[in-house]
Chains A and B, each alone.
Chain A
Amino acid sequence: MTRTNDIILRTTTSLIAFILIGFSVYLFFSGHNNPGGGFIGGLMTAAAIILMNMAYGSEAMAKVLPVNFRFVVALGLAIAVLTGVGSFVFGQPFLSQTYAYFQLPILGKTELATALLFDLGVYLTVIGVTMTIILTIADDRG
């Protein structure tokens, strides 16, 4: 099989993947007050990883990103559950949430909510599930 020279694809991918990841992080953080959130952010990140996978091949990606995505699913679930359980410590009902305003160095006065931690769990779970599905099907050469 002749190896095609896909330099254009690879070059544009390294540019686009960064923009995609940046956009997904933006979506993730904007979820509280604007459209976005953990689910769509996670899907967008997974899309960026898949794009790199298509351009560079899964062996190269396994070196760059040596992650077992099934563990990412479990990790995301664990984070989501623990944010719910965290309210036990404060004697509040399960899944209670709170927020506070902080003066951060660059961003200024920022609202930080514990719902963001739950969203982080969703984000990781979505990435993990999407990547597990796609990589399992892609690696199946039987």
Chain B
Amino acid sequence: MSNLAILPILIPFIAGILLAFLNKHIPLVRSLAKIITVAQLLFVSWLCYLVYQSGSIILETGAWKAPYGIIIVADSLAMTLVLTTNIVAVACVFFAPVSLTEKQERFYFYPFFFLLITGVSGAFLTGDLFNLFVFFEVLLMASYGLIVLGNGKVQLRESLKYVLINVFSSMLFVTTIAFLYAIVGTVNMAQIAQRVQEVDQAGILTVIGILFFFVFATKAAIFPLYYWLPNPYIVPNPVVSALFGALLTKVGIYAILRTFTLIFVHDPNLTHTLFIYLAALTMIFGVIGALSTHNIKLIVAYNIIPAVGFMLMGIGLFTETSISGTLYYLVHDMIIKGSLFLIVGAIAYVAGTSDLRKMGGLIHHYPVLGWMLFIASLVLAGIPPFSGFIGKLLLLQGGVAQEELLIVITGLITSLLILFSMIRIFVKGFWGEKSDVLPTKPVKTAPFTWPIAFLLTFSVLLGLGAEWVYPSVQSMAEYLMNPDLYIESILKE
């Protein structure tokens, strides 16, 4: 029974190993990868349902009792994020054959893909700080493999930056865990939380908290540690960009959310106030980046940053409303960033360029693609019927309730500018006369369309079905605001 908690990690891992054996037989690998991801999505949905119905599933690996062994905690938050990860994975695996060359697929795309999913799911599910580090490395190693896939000159340059910054932040992560272990003498998150609570988060523990924030902020691209993000995210294949944009920064945000709602919660005047200021700066600088460029891929990549700012704002405000806003926004943003990267990947493919100034009149040939981009832009900006709205509304409500009006105004202006930056792609790329650089014969876009439509459906449902989704988000926020629930469920005194 408790073994169910490990399966979202184990299934992609075994799939990755299996496909590494078969890497020469591309058609077989493709169909196997599709079958496995779909089966996994169904399984994870069922597991998610189970967790909602009967509470979190806790696995003590190797039958070692709680603080001594590694704990896998499938609570409702982790399972929701794993479910979202799998939704994105299904879209990406169906998009991959149309966007990758056969050579790239043969060079272990699918094993790396599955190992990335393993790392992300593991990072969401683990209840142990050092194990979190290990899963971070699993997903980073897989992402290094994916980012160089294709072997271009630009990719080499950007992947070098990407690897350097991540090696540095991983080193800082290990050092920080060592500091924390020296003080509290454990790496189990529940027990750390308990012990930090006992000493009321003395000065040195706040310092360690800030160090953790720096580590996770590097992964999540928060001001002033976001400068590495945009370029490495646009050089690989669109499907790899979509995976990165949808999953990697969100793991950093999830880690901040976990540590700063569970462990370092006793000095919010210092830590959480800092978050609010950084969130505002993240939003402003991210959206300035998105407005500064004519490269459509870069616009989407820069749009990751203000979204991260919004989520950090919710953590900084630290009320039940704002945390549920963060959660809502997190799930919404994973899906929409995945679909946006796939859309701009498809646009760049059909237009033969990703420079906005060279495009025009795409709507004549590709109406479906155009309207999907339009909907995705509205979702991203947070226009009412769609999913971005609810998350932002909750965040702004939380901000007004805490009387942090500055961040509320920043958030609103940022939303406007996000909409502007995205709609610019639609107006300049899709309206107007047909541009000469476009190939005269339209490319078939149906294989591109289905995975994107699949993701957008979830985005729209998440907005329209808010009544249905919101109670579970609220109960998750309630659970996060009461760290004792987590500690007791694991340590069982």
Q: In the complex, A93 Cα to B59 Cα: how many Å?
A: 7
Which size class do B's interface residues fall under?
10 to 19
Query: Do A74 and B3 contact each other (CB < 8 Å), given the known contacts A94-B61, A96-B62?
Result: no
A93 touches B2 (CB 8 A): yes
CB distance from A26 to the nearest CB of B (A): 27
- Cβ of A78 within 8 Å of any chain B Cβ, yes or no, is yes
- Cβ of A70 within 8 Å of any chain B Cβ, yes or no, is yes
B10 touches A85 (CB 8 A): yes
Question: Considering only CB atoms, which chain A residue lies closest to B6 in the complex?
Answer: A94
Query: Do A81 and B14 contact each other (CB < 8 Å), given the known contacts A74-B21, A93-B2, A94-B6?
Result: yes
Max chain B C-beta neighbours (<10 A), residue from A74, A78, A88, A92: A74
Q: In the complex, A95 Cα to B63 Cα: how many Å?
A: 8
Query: Do A95 and B14 contact each other (CB < 8 Å), given the known contacts A70-B20, A71-B21, A88-B3?
Result: no
* Residues of chain B contacted by A84 (CB below 8 angstroms): 10
A93 touches B3 (CB 8 A): yes
User: Contacting A78 at CB < 8 Å: which of B17, B59, B62?
Assistant: B17
CB distance from B19 to the nearest CB of A (A): 9
Binary B-proximity of A33-66 (CB < 8 A = 1, otherwise 0): 0000000000000000000000000000000000
Q: Which residues of B (26-62) have their CB < 8 Å from a CB of A?
A: 59-62
- Cβ of B13 within 8 Å of any chain A Cβ, yes or no, is yes
B3 touches A94 (CB 8 A): yes
Q: In the complex, A95 Cα to B60 Cα: how many Å?
A: 9
CB distance from B138 to the nearest CB of A (A): 12
B17 touches A93 (CB 8 A): no
Max chain B C-beta neighbours (<10 A), residue from A74, A92, A93: A93
* Residues of chain A contacted by B60 (CB below 8 angstroms): 93
Q: Which residues of B (181-210) have their CB < 8 Å from a CB of A?
A: none
Binary A-proximity of B57-88 (CB < 8 A = 1, otherwise 0): 00111110000000010000000000000000
Q: In the complex, A78 Cα to B19 Cα: how many Å?
A: 11
A94 touches B59 (CB 8 A): yes
Question: Considering only CB atoms, which chain B residue lies closest to A68 in the complex?
Answer: B21
B63 touches A93 (CB 8 A): yes
CB distance from A133 to the nearest CB of B (A): 14
Question: Considering only CB atoms, which chain A residue lies closest to B108 in the complex?
Answer: A70
User: Contacting B63 at CB < 8 Å: which of A71, A73, A78, A96?
Assistant: A96
* Residues of chain A contacted by B20 (CB below 8 angstroms): 70-71, 73-74
Q: In the complex, A84 Cα to B9 Cα: how many Å?
A: 13
CB distance from A27 to the nearest CB of B (A): 24
* Residues of chain B contacted by A92 (CB below 8 angstroms): 63
* Residues of chain A contacted by B18 (CB below 8 angstroms): 78
CB distance from B254 to the nearest CB of A (A): 22
Question: Considering only CB atoms, which chain B residue lies closest to A92 in the complex?
Answer: B63
* Residues of chain B contacted by A88 (CB below 8 angstroms): 3
* Residues of chain B contacted by A85 (CB below 8 angstroms): 10, 14
Binary B-proximity of A69-101 (CB < 8 A = 1, otherwise 0): 011011001100100110010001111110000
A81 touches B6 (CB 8 A): no
Q: In the complex, A46 Cα to B72 Cα: how many Å?
A: 34
CB distance from A117 to the nearest CB of B (A): 14
* Residues of chain B contacted by A96 (CB below 8 angstroms): 61-63
* Residues of chain B contacted by A94 (CB below 8 angstroms): 3, 6, 10, 59, 61-62, 72
Taking A74-B20, A93-B62 as given, write out 6 further A-B residue pairs in contact, using a Cβ cutoff of 8 Å, ordered by the A residue number.
A71-B21, A73-B20, A88-B3, A93-B61, A94-B59, A97-B62
The 5 closest A-B pairs by CB, nearest first: A74-B20, A95-B62, A94-B6, A95-B61, A96-B63
A-B contact pairs, 7 of them (CB 8 A): A73-B20, A74-B17, A77-B17, A78-B14, A92-B63, A94-B6, A96-B63
| Chain A contact residues, CB within 8 Å of chain B | 70-71, 73-74, 77-78, 81, 84-85, 88, 92-97
